[in-house]
Amino acid sequence: MNLLLISNSTNAGEAYLKYPIHEIAKSLEGIDEVVFVPYAAVTFSYDEYEAKVQDRLNEIGVKVRSIHHAINKRNFIRHAKAIMIGGGNTFALLKKMQEEDLLDMIFHRVKAGVPYIGWSAGSNVTCPTICTTNDMPIVQPESFRAIGLVSFQINPHYLDANPEGHAGETREQRIKEYLEANRSRYVVGLREGCMLRINDEGIQLIGSRPMRIFKKGQETYEVQPGDNIDFLIRRSK
């Protein structure tokens, strides 16, 4: 597989997709177009989303072809040179992909070697389920089952913050609740400005910040860019 799973599209004060564009270019080396899935967009149109991504990918000479224009959407994925799924609302994204029967087609194409790039919600849907998303369930998908390209769960935009005066749950507490019901699963807290690259050589954390590892029965700990984290994908191959 050739996966690039990005925590967030944009760092504070930067232009859209600016920080990950060099890694995106590596994933798309030798490829001149991508199929884009814009279904996580809620407060703006799919056309606007396509144009926004195209503006950035112009820098690397890649054409964006959004799936919402296609009549036969499974066939669109079947012939994709690369697949890109953008962030937004994970529930809206999954519901639309389920309605269009895209999950298994994406799974088989990526397993066959087609590059996959996703950020935020687009990273969430590569997991077995979307249960570790941060998003509000504004719509109801058929189930929480996602594409299942990896065997661990991702919490993108992971935050350590516990603001003074805040009496609600922290992100870590919510992940630990998930693990009470899913005891064999790993969850990774992927902080902003970071991404995971997964290919035949293994899995690599890219960025300047550590990633948090959660599993029931284990002490929560941090891994640094450059650390060996191949244990996360042993069951994904």
Question: What confidence tens digit (pLDDT) does each residue in 124-182 have?
Answer: 999 999 999 999 999 999 999 999 999 999 999 998 866 666 656 788 999 999 999 99
Q: Which two tokens stand for residue 180?
A: 């009470």
Active site residues: 120, 135, 157
- Predicted confidence at residue 163, as pLDDT, reads 62
175, part of any domain:
yes
21, part of any domain:
yes
Q: Which two tokens stand for residue 211?
A: 């990633």
Q: Which two tokens stand for residue 199?
A: 């290919």
- Predicted confidence at residue 216, as pLDDT, reads 95
Phi, psi torsion values for 117, nearest 5 degrees: -130, 130
- Residue 102 CA to chain centroid, in angstroms? 16
DSSP state of 6: E
Q: How high is the mean pLDDT of the chain?
A: 94
Q: What is the CA radius of gyration of the chain?
A: 17
Instruction: Determine contact, residues 234/215, Cβ cutoff 8 Å.
Output: no
218, part of any domain:
yes
Q: Cβ of 86: how many Cβ atoms within 10 Å? A: 26
Q: pTM to 2 decimals?
A: 0.95
Q: What confidence category does residue 22 fall into, taking pLDDT thresholds of 50, 70 and 90?
A: very high
In which domain, by residue range, is 83 found? Answer: 3-232
129, part of any domain:
yes
Q: How far is CA 72 from CA 100, 102, 166, in A?
A: 9, 11, 48
Q: Cβ of 188: how many Cβ atoms within 10 Å? A: 29
CATH code, 44: 3.40.50.880
45, part of any domain:
yes
237, part of any domain:
no
Is residue 235 pLDDT above 80, yes or no? no
- Predicted confidence at residue 237, as pLDDT, reads 41
Instruction: Determine contact, residues 83/37, Cβ cutoff 8 Å.
Output: yes
How many domains are there within the chain?
Answer: 1
42, part of any domain:
yes
Q: CA torsion sign, 174 to 176 to 179 to 185?
A: positive
Q: What confidence category does residue 115 fall into, taking pLDDT thresholds of 50, 70 and 90?
A: very high
97, part of any domain:
yes
Instruction: Determine contact, residues 53/122, Cβ cutoff 8 Å.
Output: no
